């Protein structure tokens, strides 16, 4: 018996996860979105797994760009998380924070708890999403010990 989409989503709402803004740069400029589907794969070589919905207007830019940055948010970034989860134009989204770049050229959010600058090494399509395996090129840490998680369909602050 298959699990219903509603039951699955209700169960996943109880799986707390860090809130991240995932960014990339393609020939058409900067692109980004809010996501919680990020996890560590291995530390040798340092690799993350990032899941992106294929219907996202930024999806193809990640594939074409070949790199991304996972910006782990702090409680101070709750508003910018909402902006990147919305339908605003990319220029509006990127005007809502301070950005710079590291090795890959993907946008790095100033003040993020951690930023993982990565090259995409593999991608697979599973259902509605692309699963991206991303080799970490460099990590920037802010020094703060606070995070923003999404649990039960709401934001919660942790640490501090």
One-letter-per-residue 3-state SS of 67-118: EEEEEECCHHHHHHHHHHHCCCCHHHHHCCCCEEECCCCCEEECCCCEEEEE
Q: What is the extent of the structural domain holding 65? A: 16-159
Would residue 8 count as lying in a domain?
no
The answer to the question of residue 127 being in a domain is yes
Q: Is residue 76 part of a domain?
A: yes
- Number of structural domains (the chain) is 1
52: which residues sit within 8 A by CB, 6+ positions away? Answer: 22, 33, 35, 37, 58, 59, 62, 129, 130, 132
> Domain holding 81: CATH number?
2.30.110.10
Task: Provide the pLDDT confidence category of residue 157 given band limits of 50, 70 and 90.
Answer: very high
Contact present, 105 and 137 (Cβ < 8 Å): no
| Span 19-49, pLDDT tens digits | 999 999 999 899 999 999 999 999 999 999 9
Whether 7 is in a domain gets the answer no
What confidence tens digit (pLDDT) does each residue in 126-155 have?
A: 999 999 999 999 999 987 889 999 999 999
Nearest C-alpha neighbor of 68 from the set 54, 91, 49? 49
Asked whether residue 9 is assigned to any structural domain, the reply reads no
Q: What is the rounded average pLDDT for all residues in the chain?
A: 95
Q: Report CA Rg, the chain.
A: 15
Q: How many CB atoms lie within 10 A of CB 141?
A: 10
User: Whole-model pTM?
Assistant: 0.95
**Rounded mean pLDDT, 115-120:** 98
Q: What is the pLDDT of residues 55-88, one digit of tens each?
A: 999 999 999 999 999 999 999 999 999 999 999 9
DSSP 13-35: TTS-EE-EEEEEEETTEEEEEEE
What are the C-alpha distances in Å from 120 to residues 5, 13, 16, 149?
29, 27, 25, 24
Whether 138 is in a domain gets the answer yes
Decide if 65 is inside a domain: yes
The answer to whether position 131 is within a domain reads yes
Residue 1, pLDDT score: 73
């Amino acid at each position: 018996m298959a699990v219903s989409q509603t039951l699955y989503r209700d169960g996943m709402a109880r799986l707390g996860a860090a809130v991240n803004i995932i960014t990339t740069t393609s020939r058409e400029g900067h692109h980004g979105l809010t996501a919680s589907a990020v996890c560590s794969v291995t530390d040798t070589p340092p690799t993350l797994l990032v899941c992106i919905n294929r219907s996202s207007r930024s999806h193809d830019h990640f594939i074409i760009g070949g790199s991304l940055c996972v910006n782990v948010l702090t409680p101070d970034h709750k508003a910018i998380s909402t902006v990147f989860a919305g339908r605003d134009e990319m220029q509006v989204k990127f005007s809502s924070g301070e950005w710079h770049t590291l090795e890959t050229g993907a946008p790095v959010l100033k003040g993020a708890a951690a930023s993982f600058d990565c090259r995409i090494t593999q991608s697979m399509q599973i259902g509605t999403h692309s699963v991206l395996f991303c080799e970490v090129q460099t990590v920037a840490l802010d020094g703060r010990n606070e995070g923003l998680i999404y649990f039960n369909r709401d934001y919660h602050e942790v640490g501090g």
